[in-house]
Amino acid sequence: MNAAAVQRLERYFQQIGEVLGEESRRGSFALYAMGLLGEGERKSVEPIAARACPDPERVDAMHQRLLHFAVDSRWSDREVRRQAARYALEAMTRRESVEAWIVDDTGFLKQGKHSVGVQRQYTGSAGKVANCQIGVSLSVATRTEHLPLDFELYLPECWANDEARRREARIPAEVSFQTKPQLALRMIERAVEDGVAPGVLLADSAYGNSSDFRARLRALGLHYAVAVAAQTGVRLLDAKGRPRKDAQSVSDLAWRIHERGGFRRCTWRQGTQDALSARFALRRVVAAGVPQREQEPLTLLIEWRDGEPEPANYFLISLPEGRTKRQLIRLVMQRWRTERVYEDLKGELGLDHYEGRRYPGWHHHVSVALCCYAFLVAERTRRFPPSARRAAEAHAQPLSA
């Protein structure tokens, strides 16, 4: 890190410190953040303390200090994350506008049964059911950059409704069981309240299947482009934009389109080796099974990949007509960029290295990781001029480059 970057980091830490308040808290944050930004293989509290303290006889005191900061110190995750987001978004939006908000979730693999929220559950991180915690995230994306704003820990009912577990994990009284879409909406509502530049909300079918989730997004003034399950019911619009009477599943509709040769190939991006393409079909529909007052014209986008026996994905898109098929395809494909963000957060910043068992500690650790990521994204954005070629090269580099 060059001298100018070091000065920017110091100013950034000062901004976060103004939110944290107490001087001891500011110092602990800086030590913790530098531990995540550093080269150590493990980035949980104990190894961070060991690396931060050259005197072996004082390592235990440093460990206790950082543990207190992570678990017991009362500071606002929301305010710290909001300050970090503002810092990074200022740099990002100086070059490009926000295009998308992205909701997703990731697993934090665990060995035991005592970490807050842990149970055997499916996680895409492992591609199977595993013993893990699940974190739901909200990110924002420009054409070339991707910034995670917020995280919420999913609490299964066996944790949310167990008083003994709640006491042991220090789960706040106001925190109750919420589904993953409900957690996502909490973060989205906070982002709207904080004035984050709006984008089209992208999410997989775990969120897009919920008509309540989609309706709430529209009530907040956001458009969406979300995946839905194959059995989702829709009604086609006729030439005058009126819904036809008969509802059908998006899967049945896809097969009818396929039988008539209605799928067309589209390439949306050049990959590292080959162009990324598949066959797609578009239809204007309304969602079936929702009150008529909540119905609005939607675009159904269907993706059928080469060599697959059936469509891979179905997307409902609330944007008004006017975008081309390629533009819509490129938009929905941005959701997969979140996987790269998770890899960076875990592999380079120790997002999933926290070994504590309590609810406040998990959120505080994640907050510091988000602060570190925000600074690195801002640095990367400043380093490269706003040309399409250079910006694309910057996105392809590892986060720490």
**CA atoms of 137 and 104, how far apart (whole Å):** 5
Q: What is the pLDDT of residue 386?
A: 55
Q: What is the pLDDT of residue 393?
A: 42
Report residue 138 CA to chain centroid gap. Answer: 4
Predicted structure pTM score: 0.91
**CA atoms of 133 and 42, how far apart (whole Å):** 18
Q: What is the pLDDT of residue 272?
A: 66
Q: What is the pLDDT of residue 2?
A: 85
**CA atoms of 347 and 353, how far apart (whole Å):** 9
Structure tokens at 280: 């797609």
Contact between 32 and 65 under an 8 Å Cβ cutoff? The reply is no
- DSSP-assigned beta bridge partners for residue 332: none
Place of tokens 């505080």: 364
CA angle 157, 160, 164 (to 5 degrees): 120
Contact between 170 and 359 under an 8 Å Cβ cutoff? The reply is yes
Q: What is the pLDDT of residue 277?
A: 86
Q: What is the pLDDT of residue 391?
A: 45
Q: Is 56 helix (H, G, I), strand (E, B) or coil?
A: helix
CA neighbor of 82 nearest in space, from 193, 201, 198 = 193
Q: Which amino acid is at 274?
A: D
DSSP 241-253: SPBPS--EEHHHH
* Mean pLDDT of successive 10-residue stretches along the chain, which has 401 residues: 89 95 93 92 91 86 93 94 96 93 95 93 88 96 94 96 96 96 98 96 96 95 97 93 91 95 85 80 92 86 93 96 92 91 94 93 96 95 62 43 33
**CA atoms of 319 and 294, how far apart (whole Å):** 15
Query: What are the residues whose beta carbons fall under 8 Å from the beta carbon of 295, sequence distance 6 or more?
Result: 243, 286, 287
Annotate 95-132 with b (16+ C-beta within 10 A) or e (fewer): beebbbbbbbbbbbebeeeebbbbbeeebebeeeeebb
Q: What is the pLDDT of residue 392?
A: 46
* Count of C-beta atoms within a 10 Å radius of residue 288: 17
Q: What is the pLDDT of residue 388?
A: 45
**CA atoms of 80 and 95, how far apart (whole Å):** 24
**CA atoms of 255 and 302, how far apart (whole Å):** 11
